[in-house]
Amino acid sequence: MKVLGIESSCDETAAAVVENGRKVLSNVVATQIKEHIVYGGVVPEIASRMHTQAICAVVEKALSDAGETFGSIDAVAVTYAPGLIGALLVGVNYAKGLSMSTGLPLVPVHHLRSHIASNYITHPDLEPPFLCLVVSGGHSHIVEVKSYTEFSIIGATCDDAAGECMDKAARALGLDYPGGVNLDKASLSGDPSKYIFPYPKVDGSEYDFSFSGLKTAAVNLIHNSAQKGEKIDIADFGASYINAVTRCLCDNTEKAAVNFGYDKIVLAGGVSANSRLRAKMQGLCEEHGWRLFMPELKYCGDNGAMVGAQGYYEYLSGNTASLSLNACATMPIDEQRN
């Protein structure tokens, strides 16, 4: 079965053709980094307009690269939640138009579910159940993946997400967008013990995260140093700060895995590309003898292949939508609407 996956939840216009949820026949991504870099972050209105300009060409190229036509595609899957509402609406409305004009089934896909599904592409032998740490610019979750379409949230952030936490600190340092990526690159030669950051905990919720205080501590350190005329070593700062963020992520994941009895651990989301998080998760799983699954770097960020992969399993479970499908800016991973 061949699924056309469409993704437009933030600042990447993407489309792909995926066969049977595992084999990527094409994967096309049009990035908007150059358009947003001058603003230091994503501007929703600009993102929506750029999606509108790019989506037709991106889908056409995805079909062409795969050697397919609409006549040989079995379903259209599209990200409909969560994300920037204007950006989501571009992809959803385009997919609805395709479904109406071609008669292909329309499959609604939750963005975080598709990030998890990126691992099915990289690891053809991976099957639920497993425990997954989903980390991105807007989300930080520990999720029980009970089946391809059944999810249960164990822990989540109470305020800022880990990716946002790193992006804001990078911006305060004067690094270009995307901040988290550039902070990770700058930190490679840094000393993770140079700067001391707090270790935030959520009282009464051992699996939940709180990163707002950590972000504030970083911004205050940067501003205080500037006021004193002291120079921040960006490499050491990045290494120390990312170490503090990833320590929280890994500690809570470790507790959840032990207490819920999981020995198969999955990492997903845009921040799964972070070099220090990948290394720390690898060390943690080796220490316990757990199996660790991480997406190939090219599938960590937003892409159409992950939508096509999850779309396949949503379709098999009977989850299709009518032309009344709407986009949703927020929605829990364990909730599904059509």
The token pair at 20 is 């049977």
Work out the angle at residue 60's Cα, subtended by the Cα atoms of residues 55 and 62, and round it to the nearest 5 degrees.
95
Distance CA 152, CA 8 (A): 25
pLDDT at 338: 63
pLDDT digits (tens, 9 = 90+) for 217-263: 999 999 999 999 999 999 999 999 999 999 999 999 999 999 999 99
Same domain? 136 vs 49: no
pLDDT digits (tens, 9 = 90+) for 3-53: 999 999 999 999 999 999 999 999 999 999 999 999 989 999 999 999 999
pTM: 0.96
DSSP 274: -
Arithmetic mean of pLDDT over the chain: 96
155-179: average pLDDT: 95
Same domain? 148 vs 261: yes
Structural domain of residue 6, as residue ranges?
Answer: 2-117+299-316
Same domain? 150 vs 32: no
266-281: average pLDDT: 97
pLDDT at 52: 98
Same domain? 146 vs 263: yes
Same domain? 172 vs 78: no
Same domain? 99 vs 217: no
Residue pair 304/6 in contact (Cβ under 8 Å)? The answer is yes
pLDDT at 271 over 90: yes
Strand extents, DSSP E, the chain: 2-7, 12-19, 23-31, 75-81, 106-110, 130-135, 140-147, 150-156, 264-268, 291-293
Distance CA 316, CA 268 (A): 22
pLDDT at 2: 98
Residue pair 13/58 in contact (Cβ under 8 Å)? The answer is yes
Same domain? 111 vs 171: no
pLDDT at 186: 96
Same domain? 7 vs 26: yes
pLDDT at 226: 93
180, exposed or middle or buried, with CB in 10 Å at 0-12, 13-18, 19+? buried
Provide the pLDDT confidence category of residue 327 given band limits of 50, 70 and 90. Answer: very high
155-178: average pLDDT: 95
Range scoring the smallest mean pLDDT among 66-70, 135-139, 282-286, 326-330: 135-139
Name the 3-class secondary structure at 45: helix
Give the domain CATH number at 279.
3.30.420.40
Same domain? 14 vs 105: yes
Phi, psi of 170 (to 5 degrees): -65, -40
Provide the pLDDT confidence category of residue 336 given band limits of 50, 70 and 90. Answer: confident
